Amino acid sequence: MLSLTSIKMKSTTSTVKTSNGAARKKPPFRSLYSKPELEEMFRRFSIQRPEPKGELEHVNPFTLVVAVALSAQATDAGVNKATRALFKVADTPEKMLALGEEKVRDYIKTIGLYRNKAKNVIALSQMLVDRFGGEVPRTREELVLLPGVGRKTANVVMSMAFGIPTMAVDTHIFRIGNRIRLAPGKTPDEVEDKLMRIIPAHYLFHAHHWLILHGRYCCKARKPECERCVIADLCRSPEKTCDIPAPLVELPPQQIGE
């Protein structure tokens, strides 16, 4: 258990590029959680799920890009159901192009927005062949050039396919960042930036999956299941539904909700 007597809020800084390309320091912000509390929080997640895995099925970086692009506004289970058969016949951009948009559409028609997604799958396969020699690129700048691939998809691919620590903020991570005031922000980018700055570096690689799974199975959208939450005694959420108290630390008002 943490000592609550010597808790200091964690303040972080990093650099951003201005419009003329000059580097300047990002303004510091104060997390509601101290460094020892953040360490303890992610230590518990690491014990609870030592090898967290994404739930989207894929067999190589290409099928991962396709699966993540298909998962927008759809469940992982729904995407897996459709892609299992699709990836058996098309696990490379070349095979996907040979299959053609109409057949891709047939495979994925149980997924929301499937017409548009089928178009994107073909267009991104074409771009991979034309510009990247049929290989999935490793950088965010290149990945977001692919049709249907935004920053979140790029982050998932970088992390799961290439082992680069990133924070792809989905609906669960966005909710947790704000609900428990871990990294409050009005946009996913803001939450991503703050999480990347406060999560202890040695936990960063798995943190994305820990937070998604915590949100999916415990800190749920409609009603968090706080009585079985592994960080309930650390959590400072006003939405907490159990009577385990938050740490007894006095917070200056300006640090709350930043």
Q: Which residues bind ligand SF4 (CB under 6 A)?
A: 179-180, 218-219, 224-226, 229, 231-232, 235, 237, 239-240
Residue closer to ligand SF4, measured from CB, 26 or 228: 228
Q: Looking at beta carbons only, is 58 or 209 nearer to ligand SF4?
A: 209
Structure tokens belonging to residue 114: 């499937």
Catalytic residue among 152, 193, 194, 240: 152
Task: Write down the least CB distance from residue 227 to ligand SF4, Å.
Answer: 8
- Give the active site residue among 10, 117, 170, 193: 170
Nearest distance from C-beta of residue 194 to ligand SF4, angstroms: 16
Within its chain, how far is the Cα of 242 from the centroid? 27
Residue 255 CB, nearest approach to ligand SF4 (Å): 18
Closest to 63 (Cα-Cα) out of 151, 158, 157 = 157
* Nearest to 54, CA basis, from 145, 138, 144, 159: 159
Distance CA 6, CA 208 (A): 29
Name 25's bridge partners: 15
Q: Output the smallest distance, CB 207 to ligand SF4, in A.
A: 14
**String of b and e for 111-120 (b: at least 16 CB within 10 Å)?**
beebeebbeb
**Min CB(237)–ligand SF4 separation in Å:** 4
Task: Pick the closer one to ligand SF4 by CB: 148 or 215.
Answer: 215
Distance CA 182, CA 33 (A): 7
From 79, 258, 246, select the one nearest 185 (Cα to Cα).
258
Residue 152 a catalytic site member: yes
CA distance 162 to 139: 10
Residue 135 CB-half CA count within 13 A: 7
- Asked if residues 79 and 66 have their Cβ atoms less than 8 Å apart, the reply is no
Q: Give the nearer residue to ligand SF4 in terms of CB position, either 69 or 229.
A: 229
Q: Which is nearer to ligand SF4, 108 or 219 (CB)?
A: 219
Please answer whether residues 230 and 213 qualify as being in contact, where contact means their C-beta atoms are separated by less than 8 angstroms. no
Q: How far apart are CA 230 and CA 43, in angstroms?
A: 10
Catalytic residue ranges = 152, 170
